[in-house]
Amino acid sequence: MTAPTEALNHVGGKFVTGLSTFDKASPVDGRPAVTVHEAGPELVDAAVTAARKALNGSWGSSTVSERTALLRRVADRIEARFDEFVAAEVRDTGKPETLVRELDVARAAMNFRSFADTVAATGMDSFLTDLTDGRQALNYAVAKPLGVVAVIVPWNLPLLLLTWKVAPALACGNAVVVKPSEETPSTATLLAEVMAEAGVPDGVYNVVHGFGPGSAGEALTTHPGVDGVTFTGESATGSAIMRAVAPRVRPVSFELGGKNAAVVFADTDLDRTVAGLSRSVFLNTGQVCLSTERVYVERPLFDDLAAGLVEAAGKLRLGRPDDPATTTGPLISHKHREKVRSYLDLAVEEGATVLTGGGVPDLGPGLAGGSWIEPTLWTGVDNTARVVREEVFGPVAALIPFDSEEEAVRLANDTDYGLAAAVWTQNLERGHRVAQAMRVGMSWVNTWYLRDLRSPFGGAGLSGIGREGGRHSLHFYTQPTNVCVQL
pTM of the model: 0.95
Q: Which residues pair with 46 in a beta bridge?
A: none
- 255 catalytic residue (yes or no): yes
DSSP reduced 3-state for 163: helix
DSSP state, 214? T
Q: At what angle do helices 270-282 and 302-314 cross, to 10 degrees?
A: 50
Catalytic residue, from 97, 218, 255, 293: name it: 255
- 289 catalytic residue (yes or no): yes
Task: Pick out the chain residues at pLDDT < 70.
Answer: 1-4
Radius of gyration of the chain measured on its C-alpha atoms:
23
E strand intervals along 279-406: 292-298, 353-356, 376-379, 396-402
* Same domain membership, residue 169 and residue 268: no
* Same domain membership, residue 272 and residue 230: no
Looking at residue 124, its pLDDT comes to 87
The candidate with the shortest Cα–Cα distance to 398, out of 274, 293, 275, 278, is: 293
CA distances in angstroms from 195 to 141, 182, 231, listed in the order given: 30, 21, 21
Domains held by the chain: number: 2
* Same domain membership, residue 48 and residue 163: yes
Looking at residue 4, its pLDDT comes to 59
* Same domain membership, residue 62 and residue 111: yes
* Same domain membership, residue 128 and residue 60: yes
H helix or E strand, kind and range, residue 175: strand 175-179
Domain limits for position 190: 5-256+462-486
CATH code, domain carrying 388:
3.40.309.10
Looking at residue 340, its pLDDT comes to 98
Dump pLDDT digits (tens) for 429-450: 999 999 999 999 999 999 999 9
CATH code, domain carrying 188:
3.40.605.10
* Same domain membership, residue 413 and residue 472: no
* Same domain membership, residue 162 and residue 241: yes
* Same domain membership, residue 57 and residue 106: yes
CB neighbour burial string for 193-219, b if at least 16 within 10 angstroms, e if fewer: ebbbebebbbbbbbbbbbebeebbbbb
Looking at residue 2, its pLDDT comes to 46
Return the half-sphere exposure (C-beta side, CA atoms, 13 A cut-off) of residue 342.
11
* Same domain membership, residue 401 and residue 305: yes
Rounded to whole angstroms, the Cα distance separating 206 from 145 reads: 17
Catalytic residue, from 38, 172, 182, 289: name it: 289
* Same domain membership, residue 392 and residue 472: no
* Same domain membership, residue 248 and residue 313: no
* Same domain membership, residue 285 and residue 196: no
DSSP reduced 3-state for 265: coil
